[in-house]
Amino acid sequence: MLPRLYTDLASWMPLLSPPADHAVEARSLLDILALPPASEPRTFLELGCGGGNLASHLHSHFKITLSDISSEMLRVSQALNPGAEHVLGDMRSLRLGREFDVVLIHDAIMYCTTLAEVRAAITTAAVHCRRGGTVVVMPDCVRESFEPATNTGGEDAADGRGLRYIEWSFDPDPSDTTYETLYAIVMREANGEANVVLDRHIEGLFTESEWLESFRLAGLSARAVMDEWSRHVFVGTKP
């Protein structure tokens, strides 16, 4: 089952993770890609796009196709990215029968909680990447860099709604391939009514070498680079 933030609470996601907050990350992605000028827009596929926050900053650079397993999150993305193609599908098994210049899996890859699932998702990315194209996978962390953390945030909306949250990430069993993130979320409706929910997320945790081996098994030549937040970004090329 998907976490509630991606199902019945999806309409609140822009207040938990505002699209404007992803502008710097989009610029970082473009810097990592370092693509030379092209005569026409390159094609771009994001697997697990969520609410489309990162993609919303990339329309001037790419012709964009966005896919997600959650129909509710796709509706959020469609409102933010009306010019993009949207496709309902699971990154572990999606097959569009097309190839793209760039294939991205952002933090949605964290919901692959076994190495087999990670490899299935990266294989999907490789299948959709043209020869000479690029696959980028941007996990929140790898095994070597994971640290327990607590964050807070939230925004108010123009329609009078508001949201505040506490996010707590921890690893209850370091011997397995997962960790947990708990969200305690307070949502205030425009009429002043408020509700509190607890949403549990189980996320995958793998070593840098396991990530790179997964790229190799998918037929991609890969390297790991560090972004400006000291996170591992895996960049693969399809020969």
Beta-carbon contacts of residue 173 (< 8 Å; ≥ 6 apart): none
Domain, as residue range, for 21: 4-142+206-237
In tens digits, the chain (239 residues) has pLDDT values of 899 999 999 999 999 999 999 999 999 999 999 998 887 889 999 999 999 999 999 999 999 999 999 999 999 999 999 999 999 999 999 999 999 999 999 999 999 999 999 999 999 999 999 999 999 999 999 999 999 999 999 999 999 999 999 999 999 999 999 999 999 999 999 999 999 999 999 999 999 999 999 999 999 999 999 999 999 999 999 99
- 156 and 124 in a single domain? The answer is no
- 91 and 163 in a single domain? The answer is no
- 16 and 133 in a single domain? The answer is yes
Taking the model in full, what pTM does it have? 0.96
- How many angstroms separate the CA atoms of 177 and 181, rounded? 14
- 185 and 73 in a single domain? The answer is no
Give the E-state strand segments of the chain in sequence order: 42-47, 62-68, 85-88, 100-105, 129-137, 149-153, 162-170, 178-188, 194-204, 221-226, 232-237
- 58 and 162 in a single domain? The answer is no
């002043």: which residue's tokens? 192
Q: What are phi and psi for residue 40, nearest 5 degrees?
A: -145, 160
